[in-house]
């Protein structure tokens, strides 16, 4: 393969490799603490039962709230807590990561294929040998 063609293909494969590699690195190094439910959008206590169960001294929190066992002290004495006094913030990092997995795997496979192509070009394994007469 002529040196100019080899250089052209090497630059092209490295450029395509970087196009796949940079988003892959950015995706793998994302902060995991940004996927919490915002404080303004707290999930009500009964709305998070499919993701979390809260126990107080071995009893479910909902049972302790209904029986009036939980109280909060304020200036005028103490008042019982209700389910409306609680809000949950959920971390959705696991769901976001699972949704990103196909794209991450596609980019990783593209990086591997382009790295192999680059090595084949640089080592001269894709040399053009021309057609042979029969």
Q: Are 92 and 36 in contact (CB under 8 A)?
A: yes
pLDDT attached to residue 134: 67
Segment 110-117 mean pLDDT: 92
Q: What percent of the chain has pLDDT over 90?
A: 19
Segment 77-90 mean pLDDT: 84
Segment 27-51 mean pLDDT: 81
For 87-96, what is each residue's pLDDT tens digit? Answer: 888 888 888 8
- What are the residues whose beta carbons fall under 8 Å from the beta carbon of 33, sequence distance 6 or more? 93
pLDDT at 78 over 90: no
pLDDT attached to residue 18: 92
Structural domain spans, the chain? 1-34+92-134, 37-90
Closest C-alpha to 17, from 118, 100, 119: 118
pLDDT attached to residue 131: 66
Segment 28-41 mean pLDDT: 82
Q: Quote the tokens at residue 18.
A: 């970087």
> pTM of the prediction?
0.58
The count of residues in the chain is 134
């Amino acid at each position: 393969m002529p040196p100019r063609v080899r250089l052209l293909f090497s630059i092209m494969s490295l450029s395509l490799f970087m196009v796949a590699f940079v988003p892959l690195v950015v995706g793998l190094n994302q902060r995991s603490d940004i996927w919490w439910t915002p404080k303004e959008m707290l999930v009500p206590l009964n709305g998070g039962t499919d993701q979390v169960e809260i126990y107080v001294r071995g009893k479910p929190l909902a049972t302790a709230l209904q029986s009036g066992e939980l109280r909060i002290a304020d200036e005028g004495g103490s008042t019982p807590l209700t389910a409306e006094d609680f809000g949950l913030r959920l971390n959705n990092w696991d769901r976001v990561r699972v949704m990103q997995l196909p794209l991450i795997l596609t980019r990783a496979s593209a990086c591997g294929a382009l790295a192999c192509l680059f090595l084949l070009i640089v080592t001269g394994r894709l040399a053009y040998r021309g057609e042979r007469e029969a």
